[in-house]
Amino acid sequence: MQVNFNTYSMAFGKSTKKNSSQREQTLAQLLKPVSVSKEGTVSPLREMRGINPNSKNVFDTFNKIDDVTRRINFVKSESSWDKCLDEEISEFTIARNEYKANPTKVNYDHMEEEMGDIFYTAASIAKNSGIDPEQAFKSTNRKFFNRINVMERLLPQTGENSLKNCRDYERRALWETAKKKLYSAQNERYQNLNNISV
């Protein structure tokens, strides 16, 4: 690909004869291809040193990387959160449609990556709101775990022997009833906690 360095040099300010050669060398460095390992990572220089993006402890890694993005002032402003999340969801929808139309490994990887962007953005918004993303995810896991358990206890009222065999409207009714019962139990728990004197 032929590159017009005069166009790119606008990013560095007005070009002069004195610094033109230096700017072209800088731009040539920027346009050099990077080396990516088998694990899909680029060797870190400074900011990301000591961080393993392939670690099994996903939230710990997220926090470390997110701390770096904050340190280099790359975090989105609060006013742009909704727009940013909407953009990520839109990009995932496009990638998913591409995969449905042509289910190749490349399209699957792209779809997976876009879903990861949604997770990352949501986790960053949580962190900006003072919420621990891992605790929030645990809370949601607990919520679904409890709701399914309550649904199973309500199941005999439908005459079915498994949630899978329920009609859609029965399953939805069980879900809504479980939600109400659990909200009631949660409110009672909070009231009890409030009554405890410290």
Residue bearing tokens 């679904």: 144
Mean pLDDT for 148-152 is: 92
The answer to the question of residue 63 being in a domain is yes
The answer to the question of residue 44 being in a domain is no
Q: How many CA atoms lie within 13 A of 123 on its CB side?
A: 21
pLDDT at 117: 94
Residue bearing tokens 């392939």: 54
| Whether residue 112 is found in the same domain as residue 87 | yes
Mean pLDDT for 49-53 is: 87
| Whether residue 91 is found in the same domain as residue 63 | yes
Give residue-wise pLDDT tens across range 101-148. 999 999 999 999 999 999 999 999 998 899 999 999 999 999 999 999
| Whether residue 148 is found in the same domain as residue 176 | yes
| Whether residue 67 is found in the same domain as residue 126 | yes
Q: How many domains does the chain have?
A: 3
End residue of a domain, out of 91, 107, 131: 131
End residue of a domain, out of 101, 131, 161: 131
CB neighbour burial string for 70-99, b if at least 16 within 10 angstroms, e if fewer: eeeeeeeeeeebeebbeebeebbeebbebb
Give residue-wise pLDDT tens across range 8-30. 445 545 545 556 677 777 777 77
| Whether residue 65 is found in the same domain as residue 27 | no
The answer to the question of residue 103 being in a domain is yes
The answer to the question of residue 9 being in a domain is yes
The answer to the question of residue 159 being in a domain is yes
Percentage of the residues of the chain whose pLDDT score is greater than 90: 40
Distance, CA of 17 to CA of 59 (rounded, Å): 50
Distance, CA of 89 to CA of 83 (rounded, Å): 10
The answer to the question of residue 50 being in a domain is no
Name the pTM for this structure.
Answer: 0.70
23 contacts 5 by C-beta, under 8 angstroms: yes
pLDDT at 23: 73
> Where do runs of H (alpha helix) occur along the chain?
5-8, 17-30, 58-71, 81-101, 105-128, 133-154, 168-194
The answer to the question of residue 164 being in a domain is yes
| Whether residue 127 is found in the same domain as residue 158 | no
Range of the domain at 17: 1-31
| Whether residue 122 is found in the same domain as residue 148 | no
| Whether residue 68 is found in the same domain as residue 90 | yes
CA dihedral angle for residue 59, residue 65, residue 68, residue 73, rounded to 10 degrees = -90
The answer to the question of residue 95 being in a domain is yes
